[in-house]
Amino acid sequence: MPKAANYWLIKSEPDVFSFDDLLNSPGQCTLWDGVRNYQARNYMRDGMKCGDKVLFYHSNCQPPAVVGIAEVVREAYPDPSQFDPESKYFDAKASPEKPRWLAVDVKALSKLKRPVSLAALKQEPELAGLKLLQRGNRLSVMPLEHKDFVKIVAMAEQSP
């Protein structure tokens, strides 16, 4: 009996990499790199499994919102950008023998019919436990409860 899928929320600045960029990537798939926070890394390492569903959130934009659904298609492996001196994610303290940072591959499943804004999330009492809404949460990868995933997807289907 396979374990039920987990659910996650990942953040991206749309100016850097948007959900549309993911849709336009080969196979609607990309390597999710550049995570440089240990807690987020540990979620990727210990939690993210192939087939897990991921909400794609646009941060640092107007309005910040959940915009799409993706899926984990490759589990954690060393993030190649940490070894690349040309990359802004280069980490001199990492080596291929002792990698510090991990990446996963994610694939777009569908774009939400309409974005679910941060403001809308905050207004929904059922979502009070959402990690995204908790104080000072700046993690770029965070776990999501199944019920919250379902709720947010349902909100995208409703008329405004």
Partner DNA sequence: GCCAACGTTGGC
φ, ψ (nearest 5 deg) of residue 77: -145, 165
Which residue of 97, 135, 159, 160 would you call a contact of DNA, by CB under 7 A? 135
Nearest residue (CB) to DNA, 59 versus 110? 59
CA 39 to CA 154: how far, in whole Å? 29
Among 7, 8, 11, 22, binds DNA (CB under 7 A): 11
Q: Which two tokens stand for residue 8?
A: 């996650």
95: contact with DNA by CB under 7 A: no
C-alpha distances in angstroms, 127 versus 58, 62, 155? 18, 21, 11
Q: What are 7's strand-pairing partners? A: 53, 144
DSSP annotation of 140 reads S
Is residue 87 near DNA by the rule CB under 7 A? no
Give the three-state DSSP class for 30: strand
Please give the residues from 25 up to 84 whose contact with DNA meets the rule CB under 7 A.
Answer: 36-39, 59-61, 64
Find the part of the chain contacting DNA (CB under 7 A) among 1-9, 19-27, 72-80, 138-146: 138-146
Report the run of H or E that residue 117 belongs to, with start and end: strand 102-117
- Residue 118 found at the interface with DNA (CB under 7 A): yes
94 binds DNA (CB under 7 A): no
For DNA, the binding residues (CB under 7 A) are: 11, 13, 36-39, 59-61, 64, 118-119, 122, 135-140
